[in-house]
A and B are shown apart, each in its own frame.
Chain A
Amino acid sequence: MSEIMRLVVTGTVGAGKSTFIRTISEIEAVDTDRAATDETALLKRRTTVAFDFGRLRFSPEMVLHLYGTPGQERFDFMWDLLIRKAHAYILLVAAHRPREFRAARRVLNFMEHRVEIPMIVGITHCDCPGAWSTENIALALGYDEERERPPMVTLDANQPAEVMGALIVLLEHLLSRVMAAC
Chain B
Amino acid sequence: MATSGYLSDFSLPELFQFIEQGRKTGLLTIRPGERADASDEHFIWLHQGQIVACSERTDHRGLVSLISERGWLNQHSAVKLGDRCPVGTPIGLCLKSHGVLSAEQLQLLFRTQLRQGVFALFDAVQGAFELDTGVVLPMVEMTGLSLRATEATLLGLRGLRDWSPLADKLPHAGFALVRKQRGQPTLRLDALETQVWELIDRDTSLQAIARQLHQPVDLIQRVAFRLIACDLAEEVPMVEALPEPPPSPRRPVVASDEPDGRQAAVSQSFLKNLVGFLRSKL
A75 touches B240 (CB 8 A): yes
A86 to B261, alpha carbons, bound, how many Å? 11
* B interface SS class: loop
Interface string of A77-92 (1 = CB under 8 A from B): 1011110111100000
Kindly identify which residue among B235, B256, B278 contacts A85, using a CB–CB cutoff of 8 Å: B256
Residues of A within 8 A of B268 (CB): 175, 178-179, 182
Residues of B within 8 A of A106 (CB): 175, 235-237
Say if the beta carbon of B248 comes within 8 Å of chain A: yes
How many residues belonging to B are interface residues under a CB distance threshold of 8 Å?
50
- Using C-beta atoms within 8 Å of the partner chain, give the interface range for chain A: 35 or more
Say if the beta carbon of A27 comes within 8 Å of chain B: no
CB-nearest residue of chain B relative to A143? B21
Residues of B within 8 A of A136 (CB): 3, 18, 22
Say if the beta carbon of A39 comes within 8 Å of chain B: yes
Say if the beta carbon of A150 comes within 8 Å of chain B: no
B242 touches A113 (CB 8 A): no
A86 to B262, alpha carbons, bound, how many Å? 9
Say if the beta carbon of A128 comes within 8 Å of chain B: no
Can you name 11 extra interface pairs (CB under 8 A) apart from A42-B248, A99-B9? A58-B273, A75-B237, A77-B242, A87-B265, A98-B10, A113-B178, A133-B1, A136-B18, A168-B278, A175-B275, A178-B265
Say if the beta carbon of A153 comes within 8 Å of chain B: no
CB distance from B4 to the nearest CB of A (A): 7
Residues of A within 8 A of B234 (CB): 105, 109, 142
Residues of A within 8 A of B271 (CB): 5, 171, 174-175, 178
CB distance from B34 to the nearest CB of A (A): 17
B239 touches A77 (CB 8 A): yes
A93-129 interface with B by 8 A CB criterion = 97-99, 101-102, 105-106, 109-110, 113
Contact surface of B with A, Cβ cutoff 8 Å: 1, 3-5, 8-10, 14, 18, 21-23, 169, 175, 178, 202, 234-240, 242, 245, 248, 250-254, 256, 261-263, 265-268, 270-275, 277-279, 281-282
B274 touches A82 (CB 8 A): no
B263 touches A85 (CB 8 A): yes
CB-nearest residue of chain B relative to A3? B270
A-B contact pairs, 14 of them (CB 8 A): A42-B248, A62-B274, A64-B274, A65-B253, A74-B240, A81-B254, A99-B10, A140-B10, A140-B14, A161-B281, A164-B278, A167-B274, A168-B275, A178-B265
A36-77 interface with B by 8 A CB criterion = 39-40, 42-43, 45-46, 58-59, 62, 64-65, 67, 73-77
A1-58 interface with B by 8 A CB criterion = 3, 5-6, 39-40, 42-43, 45-46, 58
A179 to B8, alpha carbons, bound, how many Å? 46
Kindly identify which residue among B238, B242, B273, B281 contacts A160, using a CB–CB cutoff of 8 Å: B281
Contact surface of A with B, Cβ cutoff 8 Å: 3, 5-6, 39-40, 42-43, 45-46, 58-59, 62, 64-65, 67, 73-77, 79-82, 84-87, 97-99, 101-102, 105-106, 109-110, 113, 130, 132-133, 136, 139-140, 142, 144, 160-161, 164-165, 167-168, 171-172, 174-175, 178-179, 182
A130 to B128, alpha carbons, bound, how many Å? 12
B3 touches A76 (CB 8 A): no
CB distance from B250 to the nearest CB of A (A): 6
Q: Which of A6, A85, A164 has the most CB of B within 10 A?
A: A85
CB distance from B143 to the nearest CB of A (A): 27
A81 to B237, alpha carbons, bound, how many Å? 15
Kindly identify which residue among B4, B8, B272, B279 contacts A175, using a CB–CB cutoff of 8 Å: B272
A6 touches B254 (CB 8 A): yes
Q: Do A144 and B266 form a contact, CB below 8 Å, given A75-B238, A97-B9, A164-B278?
A: no
A84 to B264, alpha carbons, bound, how many Å? 11
B202 touches A5 (CB 8 A): no
Residues of B within 8 A of A113 (CB): 178, 202, 236
